[in-house]
Copies of this chain bind each other. A is one copy, B any other.
Amino acid sequence: MTTKKKTKDLILDAAEELFAIRGFYGVSIRQITTKAEVDPALASYHFGKKKDIFDAVMLRRAEILNRERIQMLDDCIRRAKPNPAPLHEIIDAFTHALLNRSNKGGKGWRSYFAIIAQINNHPELGGIIMSQYFDPLAKKFLQAIHANMPEANDEDLYWCYHFLSGALTLTFSGTERISKLSDGLCPSNDLDAVHDRLVPFITAGFKAFMNPFTIGR
């Protein structure tokens, strides 16, 4: 028995899809409520200001994702005890939930990641939500890496995390761009294929900073 969707979710769904395509400023409340087949005033009634709609959209899935990622990270740390967790497992824990949802999670999830890709490069909009939910995870992740590479330089590791974050982010939004760039060059858009390449790529990148005296080469 599927109960009828509540107005709040109708608005969030519509907003999510539109924000993904045109960004925060590129979408009007009326466009959202029209798509949701709902009166414009209901947006203000349920959420308040426009920015609050955006925050609500972000919050919905951030909680789910974060729970999953922390879980995976903790699991692989516990499995390896008393040794440090293997590097590629740590990175997999960091990326798996994202790539998996992006691949098999349906349209809503894909829209969500497209928004993330936008605001990750745009601090003004990411605001509290992103910091609140993703920064703590980043810290946990870096700690695990550091346990695996204790001799590595802290600053190096931080930048490596940065590169990982960028590669991951662009992957989300790049689905359409890919087919444009390649004329018969890039074959599959399957995100499983991405995952199989991202993890070794990033792992190798991190490992380049194993020895603190090899910087620059």
Residues of A within 8 A of B (CB): 21-26, 88, 114, 117-118, 120-124, 126, 131, 135, 138-139, 142, 154-156, 158-160, 162-171, 173-174, 176-178, 180-182, 185-188, 193-194, 196-198, 200-209, 214-217
Residues of A contacting B: mostly: helix
CB-based contact A202/B205 at 8 Å: yes
Q: Known contacts A88-B217, A155-B193, A163-B171; can you find 10 more A-B pairs with CB under 8 A?
A: A21-B124, A123-B176, A159-B193, A159-B197, A162-B167, A164-B167, A170-B170, A200-B214, A200-B216, A200-B217
**Given A155-B187, A158-B186, A208-B204, CB of A121 within 8 Å of CB of B173:** yes
Q: Name 19 A/B residue pairs within 8 A (Cβ), A-sorted.
A: A23-B25, A118-B121, A120-B170, A121-B173, A121-B174, A122-B173, A139-B185, A155-B193, A159-B201, A163-B170, A163-B171, A163-B198, A163-B201, A166-B168, A166-B169, A166-B170, A167-B167, A201-B209, A204-B208
CB-based contact B166/A123 at 8 Å: no
Closest to A28 in B: B25
Closest to A24 in B: B26
